[in-house]
């Protein structure tokens, strides 16, 4: 863990981008709790899909429900070689290799809880139905997400593991093989040590912005100990929610934590809660990383992160394909 003194060491280009993104987020918030979505979208223009492989990965867009609208972008690796979320999808698709589906889910405050979870669950059903072009619905399926997406990926995995299981062999095809929670965005009423220590030292934001984000998403009258924000309650100990819930079907999970992320204590508590619930959990620590570090390929931690995710996915797939271990004769 880095010293609480000073600030993270980042290239000037990275600092400029992080501070600009932080300033833009604050500039688009309105006093009535809404956001200037048009201004946000202006600075977040999506590049068109490219069916011709670029750096070894082709892309295509697919609409699931035009009324929301709900759409996804598919990143498909190709045999020849190949910073934003889509750039990360491209790197992961090439490195694992795997087909990566990026979900354009609905966002708060226009679409609060549980809209993003519903969208994620619908995309998961769409993939399992075989609707994804040129895909094998029985192939191992992983959920992944960063920050708010990490929170969403967890809750989609939780819904999937808690739903009635089909009979074999359908059960094997339906199961989520693994979850990669990348600096997941969780909350709670009581401030953690890392929040107190780091809010003012990184451009990720202030505690006031953190609290505003949760108010814009959670149901009216809820606080940050709502299960959407605080998965295991105020703490992962004996009195936590995990003690009264069945986590048997929850997938193996990799939790990625950055040493300069104010939310790191909550992410470690999440990993501890999963372990206490009997979930196979891997904690990946990046001591010099800020929140969202993976989006900057110039950072050494970002390159190691991609390797770590590929290792987790491939080891999990190998274990699934090997089947349950047989006792010695």
Residue-by-residue DSSP string for 185-212: ----SSPPHHHHHHTTTSTT--HHHHHH
Give the C-alpha separation, 309 to 62, whole Å. 25
pLDDT (0 to 100) of residue 242: 60
Query: Residue 12: in which H helix or E strand, if any?
Result: helix 12-27
User: Is 120 a residue whose pLDDT tops 90?
Assistant: yes
Residue 168 lies in a domain: no
Residue 167 belongs to a domain: no
Alpha-helix residue ranges (DSSP H) falling in 109-163:
115-128, 148-162
Q: Give domain status of residue 186, yes or no.
A: yes
Model confidence, pTM: 0.86
Cβ atoms within 10 Å, residue 118: 18
Residue 264 CB contacts under 8 Å (≥ 6 apart), including other chains: 194, 257, 258
Q: Does a cis peptide bond (omega within 30 degrees of 0) precede residue 17?
A: no
2 occurs within a structural domain: no
Question: What distance in Å separates the CA atoms of residue 301 and residue 195, rounded to the nearest whole number?
Answer: 22
**58-76 average pLDDT score:** 94
Say if 4 falls within a structural domain. Answer: no
Catalytically active residues are: 147
- The domain that contains 33 carries what CATH number? 3.40.50.1820
Which residues form the domain of 50? 12-162+175-320
How far from chain centre, in Å, is Cα 36?
Answer: 24
User: Residue 172: is its pLDDT beyond 50?
Assistant: no
d(CA 33, CA 47): 29
Residue with tokens 């709670």: 188
How far apart are alpha carbons 317 and 142 in whole angstroms?
Answer: 10
Number of domains the chain is built from: 1
Which pLDDT score, from 0 to 100, does residue 112 have?
Answer: 97
| The Cα angle at residue 248 between residues 137 and 155, in degrees rounded to 5 | 65
**How far apart are the C-alpha atoms of 87 and 93, rounded to whole Å?**
10
Report whether the peptide linkage leading into residue 139 is cis, meaning its omega lies within 30 degrees of zero.
no
Is 217 among the domain residues? Answer: yes
Query: Residue 7: inside a domain, yes or no?
Result: no
Q: Which residue has the higher pLDDT, 326 or 140?
A: 140
Place 303 in a pLDDT band, splitting at 50, 70 and 90.
very high
Query: Is the residue at 146 inside a domain?
Result: yes
- The two tokens of residue 126 are 């769409």
Tokens standing for residue 78: 């190709």
Kindly report, residue by residue over 175-230, the tens digit of the pLDDT: 899 999 999 999 999 999 999 999 877 756 688 889 999 999 999 999 999 999 99
pLDDT digits (tens, 9 = 90+) for 181-193: 999 999 999 999 9
pLDDT at 328 over 90: no
């Amino acid at each position: 863990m880095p010293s609480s003194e000073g600030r993270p060491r980042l290239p000037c280009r990275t600092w400029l981008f992080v501070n600009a993104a932080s300033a833009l987020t604050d500039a688009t918030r309105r006093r009535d709790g809404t956001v200037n979505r048009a201004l946000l979208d202006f600075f977040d223009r999506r590049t068109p899909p490219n069916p011709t492989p670029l750096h070894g990965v082709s892309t295509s867009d697919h609409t699931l429900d035009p009324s929301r609208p709900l759409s996804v972008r598919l990143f498909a690796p190709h045999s020849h070689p190949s910073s934003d979320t889509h750039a990360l999808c491209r790197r992961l698709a090439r490195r694992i290799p795997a087909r990566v589906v990026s979900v354009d889910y609905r966002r708060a405050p226009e679409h609060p809880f549980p809209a993003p979870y519903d969208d994620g669950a619908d995309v998961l059903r769409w993939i399992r139905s075989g609707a994804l072009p040129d895909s094998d619905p029985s192939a191992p399926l992983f959920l992944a997400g960063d920050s708010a997406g990490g929170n969403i990926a967890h809750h989609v995995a939780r819904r999937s593991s808690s739903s009635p299981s089909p009979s074999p062999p359908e059960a094997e095809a339906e199961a989520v093989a693994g979850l990669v929670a990348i600096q997941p965005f969780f909350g709670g009423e009581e401030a953690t040590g890392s929040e107190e220590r780091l809010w003012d030292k990184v451009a990720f934001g202030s505690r006031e912005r953190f609290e505003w984000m949760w108010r814009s998403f959670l149901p009216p009258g809820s606080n940050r100990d709502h299960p959407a924000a605080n998965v295991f309650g105020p703490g992962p100990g004996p009195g936590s929610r995990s003690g009264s819930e069945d986590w048997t079907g929850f997938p193996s999970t990799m939790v990625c934590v950055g040493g300069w992320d104010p939310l790191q204590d909550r992410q470690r508590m999440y990993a501890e809660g999963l372990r206490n619930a009997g979930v196979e959990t891997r904690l990946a620590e990046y001591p010099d990383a800020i929140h969202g570090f993976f989006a900057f390929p110039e950072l050494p931690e970002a390159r190691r992160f991609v390797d770590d995710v590929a290792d987790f996915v491939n080891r999990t797939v190998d274990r699934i394909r090997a089947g349950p271990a047989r006792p010695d004769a």
